[in-house]
Every structure is written in C-alpha cells, then in structure tokens.
Structure 1
Amino acid sequence: MTVQDSSAGIDTFVAEWEAWHQRKDAALAHEHGFLAVTGLHWLACDPQRFPDAPGTWSTGDDGVTVVLGRGEELVVDGTAVRGRHAFGVIPERGGVNAFWGDAVIEIAKRGGNDLIRPRHPEHPLRTAFNGTPAYAPDPRWAITGTYTPFPEPRPTTVGAAVEGLQHVYDAPGGIRFRINDLTLGLTAFNGSTPGGLLVLFTDATSGVTTYAANRALQVDAPRPDGTVVLDFNRATNLPCAYTDFATCPLPPAENRLPVAIEAGEKIPHERKPAGR
C-alpha cells in the first residue's frame, strides 16, 4: 500500500483523487474536447462534403486535401486559408486542428485511415455533461506490482471501438501483481509521461458497473527495482465510453482480468439505458 492507515493519510489520498478526477472531467468537457465531437468522417479519394464541416474533403497519396467554397474559411496554424488547402500526409495517431468559427475540425489518421472529426462547443453531449460516476477512492486499490521490460518492444495489434479498425502499439514490457492471492499480469504500452506506462484492461465489472469495452490506467515510470504502483482508483474511461465518434483501442486479450476491479470510473451517465 502507498497510503498509511491514518485518517490524515486517507484524507489526503481522497482529496488528491478528487482534484485529479475534477481535472480529468474538465479536460473531457473542454469546449473542443471529445464531448464536442459531432461526427467521425472517413475520407476517400472521391471528394465528400459533410454537414458539420466546411469544404469538400478527400485523401490520396499526397495526404488530406480540402477545397473550400465561396465564403468558406479555415484557420490553420494561425493563418486564414480559402480555396484549396493541402494538409499533407498525417502520421498514424497524429492530427492537425483547423479552426472554423468557434468550432475545430480535427484532421487525423487512425488505423491507417484518414478522417476528420468536427468539434462544436454547443454539441448537446458536451453542454449536458454532468461529470463521470466513479467508485469512492479507496487506498486498498493502490497496488504495488513489478514491471519487467521485454528484450525488445513487442508490436501488439489490438482492436478498436470502431468495427474493423485495428491499432498497433509497441509494448515495452509487462506488469505482474497480486489481488486476492491471485498473481495477474498486464501488457503495458508507453504512457503519456517520460518512462510512464499505459495499461488497457477489462475486468469482471466490465459491462456491469464499468464500461464494457475498456478502461485505461496511466502508471508512473518504474522505480529502479522495477516496482510500480497500479492505482486502480484512477482507472479512466476512454472517449469511446461517451461517444460513438471515437476510435479507442481495445485491450490485448491477456489484459482481460478475471477479478472485479471495483475502483475507478464507472459507466458514464450518457451510456446508461433510460430509467437507470
């Protein structure tokens, strides 16, 4: 455990968790965050118009191109563009934002396919957002494990929230830990901080109290002796838990845990059936 069995230590643990969760929800509900996305539009060689974005869009060997009509304008890197504009080749999991009034048009590549994803601040999913339900934070779910790097990073193919799409991530190593006298393992991907790790997983609560497809856990960089802390209180939903316009990765098969992780974020209000 990482928290001493004292009321002061637990109070601090809970306060830090609450501040973290508020920051997480605030980022999600940002005016151009995922709750503002109004469409997921896959681009093709043939030019297409979409109802929530200006211009006619296409992609090809030279990358993504938009042709803006009379009176249409985008702002790219601080510069207003009209007529034809080439965004070039977008790298996998990369993206560019173009501003259109108070909206943002995200141009991205996922699973080898180019797309645009308009983000409108007035989208009802965003304006009605009232926070993400979660289990009450409990220090017992901050579990110490051991990280073991692989001899070489392992390219790992996983599915996606969008049917037929696949993602490939390099997995630098694995984590072993114990719950209820069971030794469990997780394949880890590179995290959002230097040396940090990302774990995608499901467990026995998935589809019951937590989102069925996946949850994500950021893990701080391993200590010199390989120990890591898996604080499942900070297991989060990915954007696909809220919107169908996300291409989130699914966990690798070995990350489907046979135990109930009763910690972290629950099924969003937006995904619960009416009346529940």
Structure 2
Amino acid sequence: MGWAFILGGGLPVIPKTIEQCNEFANHDWYLAKLTRLTDGFTFRCRRCLGTKSIRNGTFFELSHLPLNSLFELMYYCSRQQDSLDHLIHELDIGSTKTVVDWKNFCRDVCAEYFLRNPVQIGGPGHIVEIDESCFGKRKYQRGCVLRAQQWDFGGVDLQTKECFMVEVDQRDALTLIPIIQQFIRPGSIIHSDQWRAYNSLQNDPAYVHFTVNHSVNFVDPVTSVHTQNIENSWMRVKCRQKKYLGIHRTLLSSYLQEYMWRQKFGETPFKHLVEQITQIYPV
C-alpha cells in the first residue's frame, strides 16, 4: 500500500533541497531500487552516485519500521481499526510502545489540522445542537477513566455533521457564550436544553434559539426541538474512551480533536491524513 501511494503522488519523492554535488553542479537525485535496504529504495545522485535515505527530512525519519508497515498502521488508525492487539498482529510489530507512539502521532496530526484551520460550524438556515458533558471518575470508583472530572462543551451541525468540542473550566454564561460566538457562525439556529448559561442567546440577534425542557421531555412535543445528536456524539467519544480503559487527563483534548477530525474527513480519512502530514512536514 505504502509505495503505491507514494509513487502515485501521495508524498513527495524527490528531495527539494539544493545541495552541492561537486564544484560544478548540484545533486541530480532519482529514486533508485535497492533491495538490501529495509524500504527497498534510496535516492541516488546521477552525477556523483551518492545516496540519501528516502526518509531524510520526512515525518518517518526517526522510525525504524518499514515504510509499508508505517503506511498500513496509519491506514488502520485512520479507519479506527486500531486496537493494539489488531495492529501488533497484522503488522508484526513487537513493541507495544511503538504502536502507541504512532497512534499518538496520528492524533497529533488531527489536532494540528484544527490549529491551522480553526473550525466554525453552522450558518444561515443550519441547525446546531449544543450541550455540555462531564468526563471523569466512574460512580463508586469502578473502572479506570480520568483522574479528575472535566467538563466539556460542544456543538454539532445537523446538516454537515461537523462539530466542535472543547474543554471548559466553568459552565457559566461568561465561559460558554464566547465559545458559541467563536465556533458557531451568525445566522445559525441553535437548539439546547434550558441550562441557565444559554438564556442570553434569546436576546442575541446573531442566532435563533430554541430549547427543550429535559426535565419534562427529551423531544419538545410542540417544536420537535431536541439535543439527541450532540448527546450521541458525546456518547461515541466516551465509548471510544472506554475501549482504551480510560484516557489520561492530558490527552482528552487531543481525543476530542480526533473525533472532530473524523466527523469532517470520515469519508476519506487516510487520504486526508497523508495530505496533512505532507503539509506539516514538507520535504
């Protein structure tokens, strides 16, 4: 899979750096097959016959795994077929730490995407459901989740299925309203429960705000307003958390960003993962 993708244009294959080959000219690199190498290829200069690793200056430079194995690992991670047992068995990787590190690298790529491309959802005519959710210790201390409770706030666009999820220190209006203004475009129709922090949205001309009283109904019988889509999103994030027997508090934000990334690129995750690696780590 890896070489077919690289040679098909998935990653740059010829070094772009200008280096002196001799006193008359620069290196003239080409991709040469060399079966004794782990990857089976190297860059070779037509002038001096010098060689350079195909990993030099790339995302893969410090890894000792074969490139085919790395691309398969990235593919499985992008498709969420990423249990440790599955990856170690399918790729014949002996080190659990290596697999965990590469899964973290892939998640970091997802997080970096949103640093470079801040998310905004909604817009005129779009319905955005918002809700808060608590990640923390299990009731009666059963199970292994986070070491301390952490509140998070998010929203999902019902038309595009894109979402935002962020950690918050407080659930008051001073905290949540600026986040709404940052992540939800003006003109959006916002659906929420009747948490008091949302009250000021009724007087905000940038949004149309409808609520559902969860103490009475999950779906308002008159307006049909509900927040089941964002609640389902929180459930899916927490199910993934349970799959890993809990996650460390410091990693929660990256897991939320990974979920946001999958909602945005769910149709072609591997293609976008590789494209974004080339943008973050250009050759």
Higher strand fraction: Structure 1 or Structure 2? 1
Whose Rg is larger?
2
Shorter chain as normaliser: what TM range? Answer: under 0.3
